[in-house]
C-alpha cells in the first residue's frame, strides 16, 4: 500500500466513524463519546498500517482528544464542561502509570545485560545447549517462562525483565538484527517469547497480576473465589495444548530462515571459550538480577529489612536501574541513548490513557448494555460462548489487562447474572482464565507486548497479523476445550471449595 494512502486512511476512517453517529444515532451514547471513539479507531488503524512511528501516531490521537476535551472522566456527557487543565492532566496521566515504567525499566535491564556482556554469555551457553535446532531454542524460551510464571505475577517483570534481555542477545550471533535480516532468527524468537508468556499468564493464577485483581473484583460482585490449584486444574488442558503448540505454530506460520546452529556451532563454542571467567560488570549484573528476581518472587521480603512491607515490582525495576548505574554496568549517557526504551515509554503511556478514555466517556458500559440485550434471547450455552467471545475480543480496546479487568469484569458478571440458565461462577471463571492469552492480540495487549514490539524484529503489520492469527487460534482452542471442561468434566474439581 502506498505510504500516502497509509497516512490518509487512519484520518479517513476516524472521520467516517464520527459521521456514522448521525446515521446510527446510538441510544444512550452522546456525540462527545462517539467523537472519542472515532479518534481511538483512527489511531488503531494508524497503528496497524504504521505510516509513521507508532508512538507518534498514539501521540497524535492523544493530542486530538486533549484538544477537543474528550476522554477525561464525564467528558462523554454533552452537558458536562471539561476544563483545559483537566483535559491535559488526564492526557499526561499515563506517564504516572507503574506498568508503563516497568516496561521502560525492562529495556534498561536489557541494556545492562548487553553492556555487561552477561547476556551474551548466557545466550552463547543457551545456544550451545539447545541451539542445534531453532525450534529447540523456542521451546527453551517457553519452558523458562513456564518455570518462572508461578513465582513472578508480573509478566512484564518475568518476560520483559528476565527473559527478553537474554533472548535479545541471541539473534546478533546469527547476523539477525532489527534492521538487518530480522527473519533470519530474531523475529521468530521474539514472537515465541511473547506468545509463550501469554499462555503461561493464563496457566497460573500467580502468572499474571490482573488474575489476582480479577479474583478480588469477582468476589466484590458476589462470586466465590477460585483457589490456585482450582485455577490450574481449570486451565490445564487448554494450557498444555497451547504451551506445546506455540513454538511449533510460530515455526510453521512465521518460520525462521535459520533452522539450527549447524556449521556455526563450532564458532559459537569458540566464542564461548574466549569469554573466560566472569568479569566485574557481569558479576554486578548477576547480583542485581538475583536481587530483582527475589523481590519479584517474594515482594513481601522487604518487610524483613526494616518493615518496608510489600515492594512494588516497578519499584524493584527502578532500584535495579539505579544499581546498574552505581556499579557502572552502563553509563548515564548510555541510559539516555537507549532510544527504544524512551520510545516505548512515550508510546505506551499515551495508549494507556487513550484506552482509559473509552471507559471515561461511557463507551464500554454502553457496549456492554447492547451485548446484554443481544444475549438475552440465546440458549445458556450459546450465551456463555458469546459472553466469553465478547470479553476476549473487546481486549482490542485495551492497552492493559489490569484496565480490562477494572472496566469490564463486574459489568460482564452482571450480564451473566441477567441471562437465564447461565452459571455465573462458571462464566466468571472462564472470563478470568482468558485474561492471559488475550494479550497476544495486539502490540499493546499485555505488559511485555511493547517490549517485544519495541525490539523492532517483528514489524507493525506482521505483529498485527500474527496477533490476529494466534489470538484466533488461542480463542478457538479455549472455546472448544475450556467450555466443556469447566462446565461438565472438571466442574466438581473446581467447585467443592466454594460450595
The predicted-structure confidence for 362-374, as pLDDT tens digits, reads as follows: 887 887 777 777 7
The per-residue pLDDT for 264 is 64
**Same domain assignment for residues 65 and 87:** yes
pLDDT in tens, 119-162: 778 877 777 777 678 898 899 888 888 888 887 767 888 888 88
**Same domain assignment for residues 108 and 181:** yes
197, part of any domain? yes
Alpha carbon of residue 486 to chain centroid: 25
Least confident of 31-35, 94-98, 197-201: 94-98
Distance (Å, whole) CA 452 – CA 465: 15
Mean pLDDT value of segment 178-200: 93
In three-state secondary structure terms, 372 is: helix
The per-residue pLDDT for 168 is 87
**Same domain assignment for residues 46 and 143:** no
**Same domain assignment for residues 83 and 177:** no
In terms of DSSP H, where are the helices of 168-227? 186-203, 209-220
pLDDT for 36 beyond 90: yes
Distance (Å, whole) CA 322 – CA 144: 27
Domain boundary (340, 374, 395) is at: 340
**Same domain assignment for residues 64 and 139:** no
pLDDT in tens, 348-407: 788 888 878 888 888 878 877 777 777 777 788 888 999 999 999 989 988 778 778 877
The set of long-range contacts for 252-255, using a CB threshold of 8 Å and a minimum separation of 24, is 253/466, 253/469, 254/187, 254/188, 254/191, 254/462, 254/466, 255/188
Tell me the residue length of the chain: 499
**Same domain assignment for residues 57 and 178:** no
What is the span of the domain harbouring residue 278?
98-204+232-340
Least confident of 67-81, 193-207, 275-289: 67-81
pLDDT in tens, 226-259: 878 888 889 999 999 999 999 999 999 999 998 8
Q: How far is CA 44 from CA 57, 220, 399, 460, in A?
A: 9, 33, 11, 12
462, part of any domain? no
**Same domain assignment for residues 34 and 159:** no
Confidence band (pLDDT; 50, 70, 90) for 488?
Answer: confident
Q: Which residues contact 364 (CB under 8 A, 6 or more apart)?
A: 358, 394, 397, 407, 408, 411
The per-residue pLDDT for 490 is 66
**Same domain assignment for residues 103 and 186:** yes
User: Would you give the DSSP letter of residue 71?
Assistant: S
42, part of any domain? yes
List the beta strands (DSSP E) in 65-180.
none
**Same domain assignment for residues 191 and 144:** yes
**Same domain assignment for residues 270 and 169:** yes
User: For residues 94 and 352, is the Cβ–Cβ distance under 8 A?
Assistant: yes
Q: Which residues contact 174 (CB under 8 A, 6 or more apart)?
A: 184, 185, 186, 258, 264
User: For residues 375 and 387, is the Cβ–Cβ distance under 8 A?
Assistant: yes
The per-residue pLDDT for 495 is 60
The per-residue pLDDT for 499 is 38
Q: What is the pTM of this model?
A: 0.78
User: For residues 103 and 348, is the Cβ–Cβ distance under 8 A?
Assistant: yes
First CA to last CA distance, the chain = 57
Mean pLDDT value of segment 332-340: 89
Domain boundary (293, 312, 340) is at: 340
**Same domain assignment for residues 87 and 102:** no
75, part of any domain? yes
327, part of any domain? yes
Mean pLDDT of the chain: 86
432, part of any domain? no
Distance (Å, whole) CA 196 – CA 147: 12
420, part of any domain? no
43, part of any domain? yes
User: For residues 296 and 152, is the Cβ–Cβ distance under 8 A?
Assistant: yes
Q: Pick the residue with more confidence: 430 or 118?
A: 430
How many domains in the chain? Answer: 2
Query: Read out DSSP for 8-31?
Result: HHHHHHHHHHHHHHHHH--TT--H
Domain boundary (340, 367, 396) is at: 340
**Same domain assignment for residues 125 and 70:** no
Amino acid at each position: 500500500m502506498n505510504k500516502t494512502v497509509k497516512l490518509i486512511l487512519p484520518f479517513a476512517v476516524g472521520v467516517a466513524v464520527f459521521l456514522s453517529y448521525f446515521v446510527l444515532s446510538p441510544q444512550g451514547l452522546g456525540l462527545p463519546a462517539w467523537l472519542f471513539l472515532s479518534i481511538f479507531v483512527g489511531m488503531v488503524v494508524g497503528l496497524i498500517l504504521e505510516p509513521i512511528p507508532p508512538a507518534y501516531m498514539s501521540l497524535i490521537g492523544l493530542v486530538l482528544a486533549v484538544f477537543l476535551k474528550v476522554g477525561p472522566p464525564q467528558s462523554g456527557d454533552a452537558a458536562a464542561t471539561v476544563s483545559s487543565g483537566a483535559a491535559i492532566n488526564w492526557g499526561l496521566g499515563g506517564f504516572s502509570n507503574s506498568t508503563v515504567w516497568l516496561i521502560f525499566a525492562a529495556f534498561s535491564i536489557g541494556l545492562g545485560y548487553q553492556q555487561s556482556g552477561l547476556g551474551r554469555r548466557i545466550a552463547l551457553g543457551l545456544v550451545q545447549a539447545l541451539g542445534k535446532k531453532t525450534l529447540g531454542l523456542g521451546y527453551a524460551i517457553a519452558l523458562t517462562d513456564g518455570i518462572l510464571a508461578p513465582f513472578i505475577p508480573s509478566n512484564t517483570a518475568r518476560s520483559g525483565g528476565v527473559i527478553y534481555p537474554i533472548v535479545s542477545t541471541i539473534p546478533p550471533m546469527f547476523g539477525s538484527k532489527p534492521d538487518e535480516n530480522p527473519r533470519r532468527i530474531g523475529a521468530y524468537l521474539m514472537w515465541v517469547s511473547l506468545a509463550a508468556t501469554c499462555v503461561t499468564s493464563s496457566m497460573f493464577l500467580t502468572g499474571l497480576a490482573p488474575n489476582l485483581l480479577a479474583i478480588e473484583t469477582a468476589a466484590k460482585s458476589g462470586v466465590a473465589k477460585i483457589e490456585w490449584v482450582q485455577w490450574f486444574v481449570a486451565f490445564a488442558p487448554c494450557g498444555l495444548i497451547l504451551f506445546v503448540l506455540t513454538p511449533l505454530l510460530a515455526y510453521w506460520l512465521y518460520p525462521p530462515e535459520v533452522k539450527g546452529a549447524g556449521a556455526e556451532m563450532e564458532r559459537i563454542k569458540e566464542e564461548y571459550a574466549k569469554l573466560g571467567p566472569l568479569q566485574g560488570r557481569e558479576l554486578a549484573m548477576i547480583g542485581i538480577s538475583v536481587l530483582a528476581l527475589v523481590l519479584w518472587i517474594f515482594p513481601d521480603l522487604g518487610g524483613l529489612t526494616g518493615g518496608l512491607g510489600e515492594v512494588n515490582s516497578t519499584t524493584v525495576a527502578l532500584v535495579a536501574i539505579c544499581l546498574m548505574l552505581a556499579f557502572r554496568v552502563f553509563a548515564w549517557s548510555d541510559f539516555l541513548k537507549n532510544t527504544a526504551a524512551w520510545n516505548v515509554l512515550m508510546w505506551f503511556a499515551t495508549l494507556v490513557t487513550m484506552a482509559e478514555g473509552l471507559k471515561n466517556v461511557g463507551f464500554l458500559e454502553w457496549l456492554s448494555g447492547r451485548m446484554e440485550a443481544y444475549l438475552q434471547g440465546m440458549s445458556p450455552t450459546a450465551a456463555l460462548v458469546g459472553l466469553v467471545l465478547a470479553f476476549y475480543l473487546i481486549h482490542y480496546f485495551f492497552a492493559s489487562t489490569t484496565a480490562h479487568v477494572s472496566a469490564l469484569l463486574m459489568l460482564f458478571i452482571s450480564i451473566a447474572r441477567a441471562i437465564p440458565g447461565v452459571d455465573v461462577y462458571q462464566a466468571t471463571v472462564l472470563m478470568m482464565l482468558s485474561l492471559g492469552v488475550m494479550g497476544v492480540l495486539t502490540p499493546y495487549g499485555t505488559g511485555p507486548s511493547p517490549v517485544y514490539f519495541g525490539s523492532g524484529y517483528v514489524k507493525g503489520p506482521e505483529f498485527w497479523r500474527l496477533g490476529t492469527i494466534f489470538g484466533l487460534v488461542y480463542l478457538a482452542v479455549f472455546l472448544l476445550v475450556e467450555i466443556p471442561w469447566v462446565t461438565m468434566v472438571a466442574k466438581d474439581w473446581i467447585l467443592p471449595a466454594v460450595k
